[in-house]
Amino acid sequence: MEKFILKYFTLIRTIIAILVGMIISVVLIYLISEMPAYSIKQFFLGPVLSKGRFANVIENASPMIFCGVAIAIAFQAKQFNIGAEGALFISAAVGTAFAVSTGMPTVLHVIMVLVVAGATGAIWGFIPGILKAKWGASELVASLMMNYIAYYGGLYLINSHFRDKDAGFLVSIRLPETAWLPQFMPGTRLHLGILLAVIFAFLGYYFLYHTTSGYEIRTTGNNQKFAKFGGMNIVKVIVLAQVLSGMLAGLGGMTEVMGIHRRFNWQMSPGYGWDGVIVAIIGRNHPLLIIFAAFFLSYMRVGGQILNLMADVPSELVLVIQSVIIILITAEAFLSTWKNKITIKEAERVEVANESVTQ
Amino acid sequence: MSPLLSSIFSTGFAFAILRVMTPLLFPALGVAVSELAGSINISLEGIMLMAAFFGVIVSAFTGSLFLALIAGMAAGVMMGALLAYFHLKMKADIIMGAIALNMFAMGMTIFLLYIFTGDKGSTSSLQSLVFPSIEIPLLKSIPILGEIFSGHNILTYVALLAVPFFYVLMFKTPLGLRIRAVGQNPHAAESVGINVDKIKLYALMLSGFFGSLGGLYLSMGYVSWFSRDMTAGRGFIAIAAATLGGNMPLGVLLSSLLFGFVNSIAIYIASLNVPSELIQMIPYLVTLIALAVFAMRAQRIKNRVGEIQEHFDEDAVKAVVKDVLKTGGES
Amino acid sequence: MENILQVKNITMVYPTGVIANKDVSMDVKKNSIHAIVGENGAGKSTLMNVIFGKIHPQEGEVLYKGEKVSFKNPNYAIKAGIGMVHQHLMLAPDLTVAENMILGIEPKKGKIFLDTVNALEITREVSKKYGLDVPVDKKIKDLPIGVRQRVEILKALFRNAELLILDEPTSVLTPQETEILFETLINLKESGKTILFISHKLSEVKRLADTVTVMRDTRVITTRDASDLTEEKIAHLMVGRDINSGRIGEPENPGNIRLAVKDLSYVDDENVQILKDISFDVRAGEILGIAGVEGNGQSELISIITGLLKPADGSVSVDDNNIIGLSPRQIRELKVSHIPEDRMENGVADMASLEENFIVDRYYKSEFSKNGKINWKYIKDYSVDLIKRFNILTQSSKTAAGALSGGNIQKVVVARELSSNPELIIAAQPTRGVDIGSEELIHDLLKKARDDGKAVFLISADLDEILKLSTRIIVIYDGHITKQFTDCSNISGMDLGPYMLGVKMEEGASGKIHS
């Protein structure tokens, strides 16, 4: 038992953190709702009680998966990249501009738009990456600045050059149909992008855990001096991690445009990059766990929206729970006394076992 | 003169810069305190939201401006203390802790807003107070200066006074000296008997204090209500302003002015059908370039003397800010 | 003369079970300069930390000015009048000298404000009082290291230190700065202070100290007047060993030169000359040991040979390939392997599995990966094999390296470095902090490597290890070679000691050493 707990300690701690978050949500709902039982049911089961809502969960999870994997790759290299939001925004804008200015047969067009968007995101990751790797400039501040540059640059591009003047809002011209990602379930907005998100999560997993470059990234994040000692080129590794991170976030933004709105319609930054940070933390920087984390977060969000509509509890409840979960997951001191006790117990057990062998 | 230029050179424009700058300067000072203590606080966004919210609510329910001020400041300081607790006691990464706090503040304010008012958008249904604007007796009658500098909200003057206050606090008091020592070499501070965690706690509480004034200004000066997410990223812009200002009082004031200037210009030219986005982008671009230049310089210095140089060169920052203001003014 | 400090029967055991001080007693006379000498690991730093209240011994007591004291933490020691100047200076780089000086006990103006004028004045006064010249309003980062150290000393004096402890104060200084420091210390003694300093450099000890305490292997060997001792005598007391009996057998005839180091010099960022004109060779089939007290340039020498540091001058070649300017990987490609001196810093990634730790230098080779895809299945078998061959105690090959004991972590490092089929093995402190069993295993492996015709370059602060394994020994002191022993079958620590401590020096030793 002790051995099991120690082996899966981080996972167990994550689950406990999530449970604590759930308990707090129940308590809060009880405190403010006139009809707590109904509200709680809506929050926890609402998303699965209708096809449309469940589709919403999956739709929203898609960019979260992209951004979560993007952030995870940077975090695995111990790079504090919070630039996924900017990479997503600028890539979607540039990709949209490319899509509406070119005409190609459908499959090729989709691929080319994704390539352009991915490349834009890659450039967005490259800049903080090289500044950090070569000169030690804080990637946190650099990526934050890149977010704003992306936001204003993207808005400029769309509003000044690709704006749909017939639309009542500030939105881009509609993408030509050749650049659409197909929606595959009538009555929902489920589109190919979700599949791509899952595929890229698997690719991200494969990359991090089964390729030499992924190994380099993880080793560098683990102990940079050791990586250098072993002969790795640290500058190259850090830049690669940031470039891939930017690329994935960029793809996340573009698939959202190509699959759901079919035009660039963000006047505010959509926040998926920040969701990516949350999802990466909950998913422990593991791309496959991130798929679940993204569904979990998306599920909570949709649950919150249902609460908002159907019951008398504001959906921002979810933000409060999120923050509690993140604190509990990232706080090393959380449950550490418990872990230490188990470690000592286990060590004693092993010692006793060893002694009985030698006797 | 073109309409753009005539707008920019109007006293009304200069007045607007100060107005727009106020909710940036406070949190930028808040970030600077935390940076000087070596524990960057990126939760100013959340701190301001909380202060803005509690200021409005308390003023609406008590009718007391003084109590509202106390409540707002207490909310901000508490948030700073909470971040210190997560970081120092719970051993959470300070960045993650701050991200969580920002989310917490955003959710909590809307949540409470709904409980108190039944509305999720804003407190427009409440009769909340605002801090008064004041005319400065002598200054008021001087032609141009009077129009620019007189008649602001009292918190704008407080913000301007906060700069020398920050300077005195950080550079002329024992606490400030200790905060800087802890930020530069915690072991050195520890070796002379300073409790490093306590000093960091104070610094983060101070950070929350400065941030809280920014939040109070937003909901009780800039406008007269609280609305959801009303900080609109100012807490993050503050990080840029503090970085560009080299975490030094004068630098932070100048960089906040730059951000205020650019944001005001954006508002002005929006009506002229000129794309404002590119102009709004400038300060971030400048901050990024400054960050890169300082890092390269620091690397050179490091190569020369082998000393890790994590803090920016104050004079260089000032020079860059000056350049930017000059070129920004000409564009 | 009365004693300012008395240490009685101190025994200190660390939580890890390591005994660092055993029944240590020592008297320090008031108003004297008292030196503590001893090899690495003799227990000097532990003793200083006990006196300063940083750690608390299991047994024994400390008497300060005749009264029994037990400082809860260093603050109490400071208040009682003990000051410590650490090897790594405790100063805030962006603060001025005066600000560093008054940190924690700031003079105030009107109860709230810092009295900067007074701070400068105080600093000037203290500086003048002790004749230690410092630029009071300059930032620390703009000052050379010698001046910074002076600030550190002043800081302690300003806090009314009567007993000043200095931990290897000259190790970071240039010769000129050292001269100035000595004058300072002598002046301080004359003004009534007591100085306790740790040193490895016997010439310094002899010149400065009134009393010398020699420590060896966690115990105090003797405390005597310096005038009763010669440098040779101190060296003898410090290393005092019997002729070693555990020597591994002598090798067959050594082969070709594998590693050739010529006229190598290195100057660090602070402009201190760390290595001076070092020249030596290592041949196939021999173990060349470098003996020396730690901090005499060994770490830098290894870093240069393995491509982690660039020298100021000189050449290093492996099998006739000049390796200066090559990356660590390019050097490893020349069949060089490297057991680093600090296993946790460079040797392993503690959160990564053993498998991942085994392949850090070879994952890109076709055996372990193809077209960028890592072959974990193969690596698992490979790791299990290494675990078995090197007798590593672990639950599985997936266990995180950090979960193993120190000895087993070191075996992981050794297993990796010896299994890459190297022709030149650089082994730095290969058995530091490991249990006896692991030590024997590692020694056997190095001997086997030698017998298989590998060139082994052994750097160790453990004299027994050097004497046991080395075919030839060179002694390094203060960045240059003071002696080479080509026949090691009959020498003892006694023979090495004087050269290690700079007491004796072979005329032109470093130039001559080419076998």
The domain limits of chain B are 3-274, 277-331
Q: Strand, helix or coil at B2? A: coil
C222 CA to chain B: closest CA distance, Å? 31
Q: Which of C374, C405, C409, C417 to mutate: most A Cβ within 10 Å?
A: C374
Q: Neighbouring chains of B at 3+ CB pairs within 8 Å?
A: A, C
User: Which of C91, C106, C159 minimises the CB distance to B174?
Assistant: C106
Cβ–Cβ of B188/C92 closer than 8 Å? yes
Q: What is the pLDDT of residues C87-134, one digit of tens each?
A: 778 899 999 999 999 998 899 988 889 998 999 999 999 999 888 889
pLDDT at C322: 92
Residue C112 lies in a domain: yes
Q: Which of B96, B101, B102, B231 to mutate: most A Cβ within 10 Å?
A: B96
pLDDT at A355: 55
Tell me, yes or no, whether C269 and C185 share the same domain. Answer: no
pLDDT at C364: 93
Cβ–Cβ of B191/C90 closer than 8 Å? yes
Chains A–B, number of C-beta pairs less than 8 Å apart: 139
C137 contacts: CB under 8 Å, gap ≥ 6? C96, C97, C98, C120
Spatial strand order of the sheet with C163-167 comes to C82-85, C163-167, C194-199, C33-38, C211-216, C219-225
Q: What is the pLDDT of residues C46-83, one digit of tens each?
A: 899 899 988 899 899 999 998 999 888 888 899 899 99
Cα angle for residues C482, C485, C487 (degrees, 5° grid)? 175
Chains A–C, number of C-beta pairs less than 8 Å apart: 67
Contacting residues of B for A336, CB less than 8 Å apart? 91
* Residue C279: CATH number of its domain: 3.40.50.300
Q: Strand, helix or coil at A229? A: helix
Mean pLDDT by 10 residues, chain A (359 residues): 75 89 90 87 89 91 95 93 92 94 89 95 95 90 92 91 82 86 84 93 96 96 93 94 96 93 88 91 93 93 88 86 90 78 69 55
Contacting residues of C for A210, CB less than 8 Å apart? 373-374, 376
Q: What is the mean pLDDT of residues C363-385?
A: 93
Judge whether C312 is closer than 8 Å to chain A, CB to CB.
no
Residue C192 lies in a domain: yes
Cβ–Cβ of A149/B284 closer than 8 Å? yes
Nearest residue to C41 (alpha-carbon basis) of C241, C289, C294, C231:
C294
For the four alpha carbons of C236, C242, C247 and C252, in that order, the dihedral sign comes to positive
Contacting residues of A for B28, CB less than 8 Å apart? none
Least confident range from C52-61, C175-184, C305-314, C316-325: namely C175-184
Chains B–C, number of C-beta pairs less than 8 Å apart: 76
Contacting residues of B for A327, CB less than 8 Å apart? 86, 90, 92, 96-97, 100
Residue C389 lies in a domain: no
Residue C67 lies in a domain: yes
pLDDT at B309: 32
Residue C226 near residue C165, CB atoms below 8 Å: no
Judge whether B300 is closer than 8 Å to chain C, CB to CB.
no
Q: What is the pLDDT of residues C156-204, one digit of tens each?
A: 999 989 999 998 888 777 777 888 889 889 999 998 999 999 887 788 8
**Paired sense of beta strands C455-460 and C287-291, if any:** parallel
Contacting residues of B for A277, CB less than 8 Å apart? 99
Give B63-72's long-range contacts (Cβ < 8 A, gap of 24+): B63/B129, B65/B129, B65/B131, B68/B128, B68/B129, B68/B216, B68/B220, B69/B216, B72/B212, B72/B213, B72/B215, B72/B216, B72/B220
User: Which of B89, B99, B106 minimises the CB distance to A333?
Assistant: B89
Contacting residues of C for B194, CB less than 8 Å apart? 103-104
Residue C361 lies in a domain: no
Tell me, yes or no, whether C285 and C192 share the same domain. Answer: no
Phi, psi of C215 (to 5 degrees): -115, 145
Q: What is the mean pLDDT of residues C266-279?
A: 86
The phi-psi region of residue B264 (left if phi > 0; otherwise alpha if psi is between -120 and 50; otherwise beta) is alpha
Contacting residues of C for B165, CB less than 8 Å apart? none
B7 CA to chain C: closest CA distance, Å? 43
What is the domain range of residue C104? 3-239
Q: Which of B259, B277, B299, B302 to mutate: most A Cβ within 10 Å?
A: B277
Q: Which of C54, C85, C97, C114 to mutate: most B Cβ within 10 Å?
A: C114
* H or E segment to which residue A66 belongs: helix A51-76
B195 CA to chain C: closest CA distance, Å? 10
Compare all CA atoms of chain A with the CA of C327 and give the residue at the minimum distance: A231
Residue C391 lies in a domain: no
Torsion (CA) A191, A195, A197, A202 in degrees, nearest 10: 180
Q: Given a cut of 50, is residue B331 above it in pLDDT?
A: no
Query: What's the CA gap between C113 and C98, in Å, rounded?
Result: 15
Query: What's the CA gap between C407 and C432, in Å, rounded?
Result: 9
Tell me, yes or no, whether C170 and C285 share the same domain. Answer: no
Compare all CA atoms of chain C with the CA of B36 and give the residue at the minimum distance: C94
Query: What's the CA gap between C11 and B201, in Å, rounded?
Result: 38
Q: What is the pLDDT of residues B140-170, one digit of tens each?
A: 888 888 888 888 899 999 999 999 999 999 9
Tell me, yes or no, whether C229 and C263 share the same domain. Answer: no
Burial of A34 (0-12, 13-18, 19+ CB in 10 A): exposed
Judge whether B189 is closer than 8 Å to chain C, CB to CB.
yes
Residue C369 lies in a domain: no
Quickly tell me which residue has 């490259």 as its tokens.
Answer: A126
Count the Cβ atoms, other than its own, within 10 Å of residue B196.
18
Judge whether C338 is closer than 8 Å to chain A, CB to CB.
yes
Cβ–Cβ of A226/C347 closer than 8 Å? yes
Question: How many domains does chain C fold into?
Answer: 2
DSSP string over B67-79: HHHHHHHHHHHHH
Q: Given a cut of 60, is residue C509 above it in pLDDT?
A: no
User: Which of C78, C103, C114 minimises the CB distance to B181?
Assistant: C103
How does the average pLDDT of chain C come out, rounded? 87
A199 CA to chain B: closest CA distance, Å? 28
Of chain C, the percentage scoring pLDDT greater than 70 comes to: 96
What is the architecture of the domain spanning B3-274? Orthogonal Bundle (1.10)
pLDDT at B316: 43
Q: Which of A143, A148, A275 to mutate: most B Cβ within 10 Å?
A: A148
pLDDT at B323: 45
- Delimit the domains of chain A by residue range: 62-297
Question: What one-character DSSP code corresponds to residue A171?
Answer: -
Q: What is the mean pLDDT of residues B238-249?
A: 90
Cβ–Cβ of A326/B277 closer than 8 Å? no
DSSP string over C197-217: EEES-HHHHHHH-SEEEEEET
User: Which of B40, B111, B291 minimises the CB distance to A142?
Assistant: B291
Tell me, yes or no, whether C431 and C471 share the same domain. Answer: yes
Cβ–Cβ of A316/B107 closer than 8 Å? yes
Residue B144 near residue B150, CB atoms below 8 Å: no
Out of C239, C273, C294, pick the residue that ends a domain.
Answer: C239
pLDDT interval class at C342 (50, 70, 90) = confident
Residue C368 near residue C359, CB atoms below 8 Å: yes
User: Which of A211, A228, A230 minimises the CB distance to C372?
Assistant: A211
C448 CA to chain A: closest CA distance, Å? 24
Contacting residues of B for C103, CB less than 8 Å apart? 177-178, 181, 188-189, 192, 194
Contacting residues of B for C116, CB less than 8 Å apart? 172
B16 CA to chain C: closest CA distance, Å? 35
Residue C20 near residue C12, CB atoms below 8 Å: yes
Q: What is the pLDDT of residues B181-230, one digit of tens each?
A: 999 999 999 888 899 999 999 999 999 999 999 999 999 999 999 998 89
Residue C311 lies in a domain: yes
